[in-house]
Amino acid sequence: MAAQVAQTPPVSTPVTISTRVDQVGMRPLIASWVRGIIAVLIAIVMLIPVIWMGMTAFKPLPDAVSVPPTVFFTPTLEGFVSLFTQRRQLSAEEWEAMKQRTDLSWAEQVMLPRQQTIIGESQFGRQLLNSVIIAGSSTILSVIFAVLSAYAFSRFRVPGKDDLLFFILSQRMLPAVVVTVPIFLMYRQLGLYDTPLGMILLYTSFNLSFAVWLLMGFIDEIPREYEDAALVDGYTRLQAFRKIVLPQAVTGIAATTVFSFIFSWNEYAFALLLTSDNARTAPPSIPLILGTGGIEWSTIAAGSMAFLIPVVIVTFALRRHLLRGVTFGAIRKG
Amino acid sequence: MSDVRLSNITKTFGDINALDDISLEIKDGEFFVLLGPTGAGKTTTLRIIAGLEKPEAGEISFDGEVVNALQPADRDVAFVFQQYSLYPNMSVYDNLAFPLRSPLRKTPEPEVRQRVTAAAEKLRISHLLDRKTARLSGGEMQRVSIGRAIVREPRIFLMDEPLSNLDAKLRESLRVELKHLQKTHGSTTLFVTHDQIEALTMADRIAVLDAGHLLQVGTPTDIYDHPATTVVAQLVGTPRINLLPAQAADGQIQVTESSLRVPLNGGRASGEVMLGIRPEDVRLGSGGRFEGSVILTETLGVETLVHLRCGGQALVSVVAGAAPYGVNSTVHFDIAPDRLHVFGAGGVRVN
């Protein structure tokens, strides 16, 4: 601290006027208020579909389809219960009998107003689990591979580096759907059709091109001097990478993780074509809820909600790193 | 501590010859300074000694043992970087402890604590130990980075312009501290700088590099009093040496377009030469043999620089205290005949 104090010039007269730009007058104040209000309005407009979906998920069926839409309603878990179960419509007598019973589970009680009884589990739970496994694994794999290759591209003299990087980027130039048929045929031959492994490999390779480029930008920003210092201080290149580079690339890794996860999680076309029962993920399953007897809006909304939650969790868990600045170092640009 | 020997080191970066056949010997416990302008190859030399760069040819040995094949970690040297390079995700304490905790040394924590505390005390940074490195001033950062070098006892200290990013006042005080630290530790230190004052004040010996070539090695007095080439002569000393084109014949040197004529003391020279005269050797006084007119004076307090014109040549003289010379006034001066520097073809010293 002593050195810092010594560097500041002595203040002879007290400063009586504010030099802060934002305190100059009323005008900037009003402008910042207006900006704030506009931002809030835009946020509301953007969030309406999400809020609407959330409300619908908790509405009983009549409220979900009523015109004009109801804003106030008694929340129910009907949507969620029907999402995860298979049900049978009860006849009037059966329904009366069910109403008299006292040994009903809470799920059965929830479905009672719909005159339905639960006869088994639906596929959705497993499909959601498939999504978690496939999206999670492919995200972890693509981030690991991407960090390593981005580090190599950033630090070493790789022969044909520019061509390789362009090749990696060019993977993104072709619309993915174009290659669905060849991939479908290859997967059939290789026995990867409808397997979690097949989907993990596919999503990993899709994510890699983008992840390498994104991470390389972040790693380029980390000055090499840190590693030089660590090498001289008695560490190997790999140890220096783990102890010095990785902690500093956290922001980039977090961003790459979120982007990769969102892609793998949301992917629809390949999931629809390359999976059937075993490895089917959630995205192609949600529209199938439409099928059975009338449009189950609250079930669909509940499915979308359940589908949304993991992405929110991942993003929320990494938000601190996403928000933090990239260069936070103690290297002086001389 | 160790001695270092570089034999015929050559290093190129693409088409650029960074180091051309450099041979150097640094003695055990010596404060050795590599001096040269930007791009001279000073930093490359340090990085080659540390093992961060591989030379195309030549041998590096510590205590007679060739270390070319050793990884930086195994060479046991400490490097202080110009940019400090403090690990930003760690506290000052962890930065200092980092070399001790390396898998190579695995120092037990109590000893780490003791060594870090001792180093911090020596550098007066004990109060900063819990601080994150990003929240330090430049001087504090540089102390920490020096501390990271002294916590262990490396064979050699390598310092790459460690003071150049600091303000003048701080630089002066750290210069004294560094020199003191080196002498009390008796550590072999290789110090890179482009600042001739740093070199002259701190070094036991100086090596002058320019464009990958080693121009001269010697003590600060050697370098100052007997510069081997015009480049060395110009690099060392403020104000700069006066370099005047001249003709040498019959043991006499006649400066071109002026009445300056001095005897050539020792050495052989004839034809075109460059005559070097340090400003303090241009002695103003009423009894002087030569005559010139004052162009300009610069008062520095303790001394004054007097710029003179003598025929077609300009000269700088330095006199103690304030100088009472008005612009365009005529002054007499003498030139110390035994302190002349005569450079022949290619700027190489001949006397």
Q: What ipTM was assigned to the predicted interfaces of this complex? A: 0.83
Strands B16-26 and B4-13, bridge-based pairing = antiparallel
What does the alpha-carbon distance between residue A113 and residue A60 come to, in Å, rounded to a whole number? 9
pTM of the complete model? 0.77
What does the alpha-carbon distance between residue B208 and residue B189 come to, in Å, rounded to a whole number? 16
Question: Does the pLDDT at position A10 exceed 50?
Answer: no
Residue count (chain A):
334
Please say whether the beta carbons of B18 and B44 come within 8 A: yes
For the record, the structure tokens of B99 come out as: 């070399």
pLDDT of residue A246: 93
Secondary structure of residue A161 in the 3-state scheme: helix
Question: Does the pLDDT at position B347 exceed 80?
Answer: yes
Per residue in A55-95, pLDDT (tens digit) is 999 988 888 888 888 888 888 888 888 888 888 888 888 88
Residues of B in contact with A331 (CB under 8 A): 83-86, 88
For the record, the structure tokens of A309 come out as: 């939650």
Interface test with B, best of A222, A233, A236, A242 (most B CBs within 10 A): A233
Label residue A315 exposed, middle or buried (CB < 10 Å: 0-12, 13-18, 19+): middle
Q: Please report where in the chains the tokens 């991470």 appear, as a residue.
A: A215
Nearest to B85 by CA among A278, A248, A189: A248
What does the alpha-carbon distance between residue A317 and residue A125 come to, in Å, rounded to a whole number? 23
What does the alpha-carbon distance between residue B4 and residue B25 come to, in Å, rounded to a whole number? 6
- Count CA within 13 A, CB hemisphere, residue B183: 9
Per residue in B305-346, pLDDT (tens digit) is 999 998 889 999 999 888 888 888 999 999 988 889 999 888
Contact B71 A223 (CB under 8 A): no
Q: Is A246 on the interface with B (CB under 8 A)?
A: no
Q: Please report where in the chains the tokens 């981030």 appear, as a residue.
A: A143
Secondary structure of residue B217 in the 3-state scheme: strand
Nearest to A3 by CA among B175, B127, B115: B127
pLDDT of residue B124: 86
Strands B205-210 and B330-335, bridge-based pairing = unpaired
Strands B77-80 and B156-160, bridge-based pairing = parallel
Cα nearest neighbour of A5 on chain B? B137
pLDDT of residue B285: 86
* DSSP assignment string, A90-139: PPHHHHHHHHH-S---HHHHHHGGGTEEEEEE-SHHHHHHHHHHHHHHHH
Q: Is A9 on the interface with B (CB under 8 A)?
A: no
Question: Does the pLDDT at position B228 exceed 90?
Answer: yes
The alpha-carbon gap from A170 to the nearest alpha carbon of chain B, in Å, equals 30
Question: Does the pLDDT at position B8 exceed 90?
Answer: yes
Q: What distance lies between CA B152 and its chain's CA centroid?
A: 26
Q: Is B105 on the interface with A (CB under 8 A)?
A: yes
Label residue B28 exposed, middle or buried (CB < 10 Å: 0-12, 13-18, 19+): middle
Helices (H) and strands (E) in chain A, counts: 18, 2
